[in-house]
Amino acid sequence: MITFTGRGILLDIEGTTSSIKFVYEVLFPFARTYLEDYLRQHWDEPPVAQARAQIARDAGTTFPPDIEHGLAPVCKEVQRQMDADLKATGLKALQGLIWQQGYDSGLLTSHVYPDVPDALRRWAERGLDVRIYSSGSVGAQRVFFANTAAGNLLPLLRGHYDTTVGPKRAADSYSHIAADMKLPPGEILFLSDVVPELDAAAAAGMRTGLVVRPGNAPVAGQHFHPAISDFGQIG
């Protein structure tokens, strides 16, 4: 049980609000399957061009700007980054665009744990400022919560942060988020299944809670973060 009387809650997604299995067995394979077709259809559109440019910067390389010569190397680099499970900004932006098309077409519906919708509504009724911080792009986060099996949960969230604010294992990232939320760090509770992320948030002064969900990786070693298995354990 976590007793929290602050004013803000910051949530991770994977392993916290949604199962790791859904991310790795549904979302990631979907992006792989539709990668080439999506690029063929949208190559010159500004969001895709921006994602391609960022992927090149993340990889320390350049790609030919035309689809005839650039498609193959871009696909190869994206597949390499996905194989390595990199939290690269360009990769996450492109994945988010592909998922957006999947959600729009009805091919994707997000999984959330049963306790999540009720908790989000309860926190909203209390006037808490609830936001998301994930390695997935802000665009991917928005479409994820707008298309869950429990309906559109996006109106219950006041903001979103991705790796453009900084790495999830760096204390400065959480300081920046607290400043953007206009709350003292001690007034914010960060919930995640990853101890190094919680350590970074705690170093920035935030309250923390370790979320233990089915299928999450076992937590090795000692830590000081109170553990919960259900958002109903926050009062």
Say if 133 falls within a structural domain.
yes
pLDDT of residue 114: 97
Whether residues 86 and 116 fall in one domain? no
The string of pLDDT tens digits covering residues 50-74 is 999 999 999 999 999 999 999 999 9
**Structure letter (DSSP) for residue 25:** I
Query: Confidence class of residue 19 from pLDDT cuts 50, 70 and 90?
Result: very high
Q: Give me the mean pLDDT over the 11-40 stretch.
A: 96
- Is the pLDDT score of 93 beyond 80? yes
The yes-or-no verdict on residue 222 having pLDDT over 90 is no
Instruction: Tell whether 46 is covered by a domain.
Output: yes
91-109 b/e (C-beta count within 10 Å ≥ 16 → b): bbbbbbbbbbbbbeeeebe
103 CB-near residues (< 8 Å, 6+ apart):
109, 110, 143, 146, 147
pLDDT score recorded for residue 221: 76
C-alpha span between 127 and 104 (Å, rounded) = 31
When pLDDT is averaged across residues 137-148 and rounded to a whole number, the result is: 95
Tokens of 6: 């602050």
User: Which range of residues forms the domain containing residue 46?
Assistant: 23-104
Co-location of 48 and 67 in the same domain: yes
Listed residues 84, 104, 124: the one ending a domain: 104
Whether the model clears a pTM of 0.85, i.e. scores above it, the answer is yes
* Pairing status of strand 159-161 against strand 188-192: unpaired
Q: Which of 53, 82, 104 is the last residue of a domain?
A: 104
Residue 158, pLDDT above cutoff 80? yes
Concatenated DSSP letters of 67-85: HHHHHHHHHHHHHHHHHTT
Residue 235 pLDDT grade (very low, low, confident, very high; cuts 50, 70, 90): confident
CATH of the domain at 60: 1.10.720.60
3-state secondary structure of 167: coil
The pLDDT, as a whole number, for residue 29 is 97
The band of 110, judged by pLDDT with boundaries at 50, 70 and 90, is very high
Residues of the chain with pLDDT > 90, as a percent, come to 94
Question: Is the confidence at residue 156, as pLDDT, over 90?
Answer: yes
> Mean pLDDT score of the chain, rounded to an integer?
96
Q: What is the domain count for the chain?
A: 2
Residue 201: inside a domain, yes or no? Answer: yes
For residue 161, give the DSSP letter.
Answer: E
Residue at 178 is within a domain: yes
pLDDT band at 208 (very low <50, low <70, confident <90, very high): very high
Stretch 114-138: mean pLDDT, rounded? 96
CATH value at residue 217 = 3.40.50.1000
Local confidence band at 185 (pLDDT 50, 70, 90 cut-offs): very high
Return d(Cα 88, Cα 55) in angstroms, integer.
8
